[in-house]
Amino acid sequence: MRPAARIQSAIEILDAIIAAARSGGAPADRILADWFKGNRYAGSKDKRAIRELVYDAIRACGPVPETGRAAMLGLVEERPELRDLFDGSQYGPAAIVDGERVAEGGVAPEWLEDRLIASGIEQADAEALLGRAPLDMRINRLKVPEGLPDLPEPGEALAAPDALRFPTGTQASGWDAYRDGLVEVQDHGSQIACMAVGAQGGETVIDLCAGAGGKTLALAAAMRNEGTLVAADTDRRRLSQLGPRAERAGAAVSAEVLLDPGRELEALEPWLGKADRVLVDAPCSGTGTWRRNPEARWRLSEAEIARYVKTQAHVLAIAAELVREGGSITYVVCSLLDEEGPRQMADFLAAHSGWQAQALDLPLGTERGDGIRLLPSRDGTDGFFIARIGKS
| pTM of the predicted protein model | 0.94
CATH of the domain at 177: 3.30.70
Q: Output the CA–CA distances (angstroms, integers) from residue 140 to 49, 181, 390, in the order listed.
A: 34, 7, 28
Give the pLDDT confidence score for residue 379 in this predicted structure. Answer: 97
Same domain, 170 and 147: yes
Q: State the helix-helix crossing angle for 68-78 and 3-23, rounded to 10 degrees.
A: 120
Q: Are residues 374 and 233 in the same domain?
A: yes
Residue 253 belongs to a domain: yes
- State the amino acid at position 285 in one-letter form: S
Domain span at residue 148 reads 135-185
3-state secondary structure of 355: strand
Are 337 and 359 found together in one domain?
A: yes
Same domain, 307 and 367: yes
Is 129 within the bounds of a domain? no
Q: Are residues 217 and 311 in the same domain?
A: yes
Residue 113 lies in a domain: no
Residue 269 lies in a domain: yes
136 marked among binding-site residues = no
Say whether both 303 and 357 belong to one domain: yes
Q: Which helix (H) or strand (E) holds 165?
A: strand 163-166
As annotated, the active-site residues are: 334
**261/341 same-domain check:** yes
Q: Which pLDDT does position 108 carry in this prediction?
A: 96
One domain for residues 271 and 292: yes
CATH number, domain with residue 382: 3.40.50.150
Pairing between β-strand 163-166 and β-strand 135-139 as defined by DSSP bridges: antiparallel
Residues 12 and 63 in one domain: yes
Among 288, 81, 112, 300, smallest CA distance to 189 is for 288
281 is in an annotated binding site: yes
102 and 147, same structural domain?
no
pLDDT for residue 40: 84
> Which of 166, 185, 204 delimits the end of a domain?
185
Reading the chain (392 residues) residue by residue, the pLDDT tens digits are 899 999 999 999 999 999 999 999 999 999 999 999 998 888 999 999 999 999 999 999 999 999 999 999 999 999 999 999 999 998 999 999 999 999 999 999 999 999 999 999 999 999 999 999 999 999 999 999 999 999 999 999 999 999 999 999 899 999 999 999 999 999 999 999 999 999 999 999 999 999 999 999 999 999 999 999 999 999 999 999 999 999 999 999 999 999 999 999 999 999 999 999 999 999 999 999 999 999 999 999 999 999 999 999 999 999 999 999 999 999 999 999 999 999 999 999 999 999 999 999 999 999 999 999 999 999 999 999 999 999 99
Q: How many domains does the chain contain in total?
A: 3
Break the chain down into helix, strand, coil percent, rounded to 5.
Answer: 45, 15, 40
CA distance linking residue 376 with residue 64, whole number of Å: 23
**pLDDT score of 321:** 97
Question: For residue 119, is it within any domain?
Answer: no
- Judge if 239 and 145 occupy the same domain: no
Q: What is the 3-state secondary structure (H, E, C) of 283-315?
A: CCCCHHHCCCCHHHHHCCCHHHHHHHHHHHHHH
DSSP β-bridge partners for residue 329: 278, 389
Residue 126 lies in a domain: no
Q: Is 140 helix (H, G, I), strand (E, B) or coil?
A: coil
pLDDT at 142: 98
Nearest to 337 by CA among 285, 293, 295: 285
